[in-house]
Amino acid sequence: AFKDVTTLFLLNAVTGDEFAQAIITLNVAREAGVDRIVYLSVFEADRAVNVPHFAVKFGAERMLVQMDFSATILRPTYFIDNESMVKDVIME
Concatenate the DSSP letters of all residues of 10-26 into one string: E----STTHHHHHHHHH
DSSP designation for 51:
S
Q: What is the pLDDT along the chain (92 residues), one digit of tens a residue?
A: 888 999 999 998 888 899 999 999 999 999 999 999 999 999 999 998 898 889 999 999 999 999 999 999 999 887 666 677 777 877 88
Check residue 82 and give its pLDDT: 66
pTM: 0.80
Max Cα-Cα span within the chain:
52
* All domains in the chain, ordered by first residue: 7-91 (3.40.50.720)
**pLDDT for res 80:** 66
pLDDT given at position 7: 97
